[in-house]
Amino acid sequence: MMLQIGPYQFQSRLLLGTGKYPSFDVQKEAVEVSGAEILTFAVRRMNIFEPNQPNFLEKLEITKYKLLPNTAGAKTAEEAVRIARLAKASGLCDMIKVEVIGCDKTLLPDPVETLKATEMLLEEGFIVLPYTSDDVVLAKRLQQLGCHAIMPGASPIGSGQGIINPLNLSLIIEQATVPVIVDAGIGSPADAALAMELGADGVLLNTAVAGAADPVKMAKAMKLAIEAGRLGYEAGRIPKKRYATASSPMEGMSIV
Amino acid sequence: MELIINGESIQLPDSVKTVSDLLSHFRLNHKIAIVEVNLNIIQKQEYETTTLCNGDKVEIVHFVGGG
């Protein structure tokens, strides 16, 4: 089963961020090993006086990937729309991760501005993936607008705290009619596997790989964890019970 | 002509008349760059026909690593 976002289909359920890697070479290898088909990045002012400064996009075969620019840096819906339009004008992408931060300390998203930006960008024909808090009702409202995926955070961006509210996340997943991609806060492969076991359609992470002691190895670990978690979800886990149930048969025990 | 490029006042030679000239001047014409003039995004096919005026506010942006 494939991950479908808007008109696009993907084999991989890992969406990888491109920030904070120790080097472009490590990043390139991590991206390849991760199997990710969707890469996120940001839009920023260019240093016009250093035209030969290397850019990560030049290191990658970008035609192999779907590019998912974010609107990071935006604090209002209008700023997010401006960044999204700039990204689209590159002619390289039509998907946008709406990211409107409402608090500098926690980097938690501003729900009102996120909702507004999502609506405006959908009207302009973007494939819109809003990064949102794990609010169940907000997720529903974003879905009603017609966004192409919902991306609730597991915990604050870059915190590595993992899924701090699995109940909300599972309620968002339960009611979802579009893919749910757990975005932000993933720290370890166990976190990513849990997100998938809860029924998420994908996981977006960056720091957990880029900041690991060995980013390439962690990229592989995340790929496997997401695959394992998804398989486990599809297989259907056993219910938790208070007491033991023997695995070996009870018959024929008279010999012992 | 003086332009405000990425928030900085920059003096440019008279030979720079269009967006295309501006990118060539900074040797950015083969880069993945997006240009905005006075908050209007300039599409690539308009680079040669979009003329710049003294005091125009120009943003030249690109993609950087991010999550």
Specify whether A241 is catalytic.
no
Query: Taking residues A9-38, what's their average pLDDT?
Result: 95
Q: What is the mean pLDDT of residues A1-15?
A: 95
Alpha carbon separation from B22 to A68, A150, B16 (Å, rounded): 28, 40, 6
The predicted pLDDT at position B4 comes to: 95
Q: Is A63 annotated as a binding residue?
A: no
Region A8-13: what's the mean pLDDT? Answer: 97
Amino acid identity of residue A100, one-letter, is V
What whole-number distance in Å separates Cα of residue B51 and Cα of residue A153?
Answer: 44
pTM of the model: 0.91
Q: B38 to chain A nearest CA, in Å? A: 12
Annotated catalytic residue within A66, A88, A97, A223: A97
Domains of chain A in start order, with CATH, are: 3-235 (3.20.20.70)
Mean pLDDT (chain A) is: 94
What are B9-64's pLDDT values in tens digits?
999 999 999 999 999 999 988 888 999 999 999 999 999 999 999 999 999 999 99
Nearest-CA distance A40 → chain B (Å): 5
Domain-wise residue ranges, chain B: 2-62
Q: Is A18 on the interface with B (CB under 8 A)?
A: yes
Query: Does residue A60 have a pLDDT over 90?
Result: no
A107 near A134, Cβ under 8 Å? no
- ipTM of the complex model: 0.91
Query: What is the pLDDT averaged over residues A70-97?
Result: 95
Superfamily classification of domain B2-62: Beta-grasp domain (3.10.20.30)
Q: Is A160 annotated as a binding residue?
A: no
- What are the DSSP calls for A127-196, one per residue? EEEEEE-S-HHHHHHHHHHT-S-BEE-SSSTT-----S-HHHHHHHHHH-SS-BEEES---SHHHHHHHH
For A102-152, how does the pLDDT look when each residue is reduced to its tens digit (9 = 90+)? 999 999 999 999 999 999 999 999 999 999 999 999 999 999 999 999 999
Give the Cα separation of A26 and A40 in Å (integer).
16
Q: Say what the pLDDT of residue A256 is.
A: 67
